[in-house]
Amino acid sequence: MKDEINFQLATLEDALEIAKLHVKNWQSSYRGSWSDNFLDNIAPQKQLDIWTNRLSQPNEKQHIILAKMESKIIGFACTQFDDDPTYGSLLDNLHVDSNWRGYGIGKQLTLASMDWVRSKNPNSGYYLWVLEKNLGARKFYESMGGEEVEVVTETEADLGTYTIVRCFWERLDFISNLS
């Protein structure tokens, strides 16, 4: 099955499918944590605008990799290099279609993201934010060597109040042990 999965860089033509997967995962994972109005009515257009903008204006500090089965996007990771002076590069998004979880796609996308960061700066830190209530994701990141170092409560008009956890990898020189 893994042999049939193709990993490739995203292009502008992928924006709509990425946005749809992103919103679908938010709707299934964040329902009850974020407002229904945001998830159902605001997020679809907002994410399409974000992904269209990101992919129409690529830059050397952004890396968006897709996991595809035939021509369908089944996962993606978006990384922002050197995003924070303390924590380093940000795994801004990691999403795998719920039908494809458990096949190691999230791990492969995370390792590819980490490897890209390491190729640019082997001493870079690496971090992400995850919703506190997303226990499955938090366990996954812990299994990948991430350490939970900060908890923050946010309030946004469209989302409501929610708590996020920063997961941090001080160095990425260990990733070959995870493959």
Instruction: Label residue 175 exposed, middle or buried (CB < 10 Å: 0-12, 13-18, 19+).
Output: buried
| pLDDT for the residue 172 | 82
The model scores a pTM over 0.85: yes
State the DSSP code for 124.
Answer: -
- Answer whether 13's CB lies under 8 Å from 56's CB: no
pLDDT digits (tens, 9 = 90+) for 145-154: 999 999 999 9
Q: How confident is the model at residue 30 (pLDDT cuts 50, 70, 90)?
A: confident
Strands 5-9 and 62-69: antiparallel
Give DSSP secondary structure letters for 67-84: EEETTEEEEEEEEEEEEE
Handedness of CA 97, 102, 105, 111 (dihedral sign): positive
Domain locations in the chain as residue ranges = 2-177
State the DSSP code for 4.
Answer: G
| Most confident option among 56-60, 74-78, 169-173 | 74-78
User: How far apart (Å, rounded) are the C-alpha atoms in residues 89 and 45?
Assistant: 27
User: How far apart (Å, rounded) are the C-alpha atoms in residues 40 and 21?
Assistant: 13
User: How far apart (Å, rounded) are the C-alpha atoms in residues 91 and 82?
Assistant: 11
User: How far apart (Å, rounded) are the C-alpha atoms in residues 158 and 2?
Assistant: 38
Interval 172-176 mean pLDDT? 65
- Answer whether 104's CB lies under 8 Å from 42's CB: no
- Residues facing 164 on adjacent strands: 131, 152
**Domain 2-177 has what CATH class?**
alpha beta
Name the residue type at position 36. Answer: D
Residue 35, pLDDT > 70, answer yes
| pLDDT for the residue 168 | 97
